[in-house]
Amino acid sequence: MKNLYLSTAQFYDIDNYHLWYHDTGFYLDYARMQRGSILEVACGTGRVTIPLAEAGYEVVGLDLSLPMLSIFRRKLASLDERVARRIRLEQADMADFDLGRRFDLIVVPFRAFQALGSDEQARSALLCMKRHLSDRGLLIIDLFKPTWRMEESWASGEEALDWVKTVEETGETVVRTEIRRKIDTARQIIYPEIIYYVEKASGERKKIVEALALRYYYEYQMQVHLACVGLEVVETFGGYDRRSTEGGSELIFVIKRLTERMEVHG
């Protein structure tokens, strides 16, 4: 379950453009609160990292996907030099990394944590993040909230239209569809297949497919994982507007380190 976007990194920004107006402000609020160094785990093409740096913060962006980081590096070349100097990129696995320093804020936005396919990987990643978290630091992880449909019927096998967009820079028309291929309810993993149909201004057409795997968590399960590695949930939200988890589609956890005398080991 690497989800490296080897074929589709080029579409990531237009695919998730709506999030610029939703979660970015949420992370900026916590950056202003923490007033320190920031690590974004699974930074992708810089959707969150760049606005944080533009706001004046020093940010390390970590990602395993070389195609994503390649796009990010191209963006750095076009940024204001003062902003670009505030960003450092690292290519590493979120379940096994050592940057040799601690951060006052670590963020794992929009489903990235769910690329980890087992309890062992999840807890390894949480331990890595804990080691990189300062004593006063906060960790924020955003997952999607599972619905009552997390059963065999989730895998419809039918191709469904998500959106159609025109890329102004290239004149291409991009159509995104999705097929829910399979669900493993025992391991709590869904297997969506993302398909992009691209039509160039010349009329040339191509189809690009990306098979993904995402592990879903219920709120109590994440609470257990966090407690077992010595992390404590400070706040939970169901959306970037800070609504309750009962009323939203997200599971957003704001987390801190437990004191040593309070830690539970599992």
Residue 75 and residue 187 in one domain: no
Residue 4 covered by a domain: no
The whole-number pLDDT of residue 169 equals 82
Residue 46 and residue 160 in one domain: no
Residue 63 and residue 195 in one domain: no
The whole-number pLDDT of residue 261 equals 47
Residue 231 and residue 104 in one domain: yes
| Residue 260: count of CB within 10 angstroms of its CB | 7
User: What is the pTM (predicted TM-score) of this model?
Assistant: 0.92
Residue 195 and residue 205 in one domain: yes
The whole-number pLDDT of residue 21 equals 67
In tens digits, the chain (266 residues) has pLDDT values of 567 787 889 888 888 766 666 899 999 999 999 999 999 999 999 999 999 999 999 999 999 999 999 999 999 999 999 999 999 999 999 999 999 999 999 999 999 999 999 999 999 999 999 999 999 999 999 999 998 779 999 999 999 999 999 988 888 999 999 999 999 999 999 999 999 999 998 889 999 999 999 999 999 999 999 999 999 999 999 999 999 999 999 999 999 998 754 554 44
Domain CATH number, residue 58: 3.40.50.150
Residue 117 and residue 187 in one domain: no
Distance CA 251, CA 238 (A): 5
Domain-ending residue, one of 215, 233, 248? 215
Residue 194 covered by a domain: yes
Residue 229 and residue 139 in one domain: yes
Considering its fold, how many domains does the chain have in total?
2
Residue 166 and residue 35 in one domain: no
Task: Quote the domain boundaries for residue 175.
Answer: 152-215
Residue 55 and residue 139 in one domain: yes
Distance CA 209, CA 211 (A): 7
- DSSP string covering 12-81: HHHHTGGGGGTHHHHHHHHHHHH-S-EEEET-TTSTTHHHHHHTT--EEEEES-HHHHHHHHHHHHHS-H
Residue 105 and residue 169 in one domain: no
The whole-number pLDDT of residue 101 equals 97
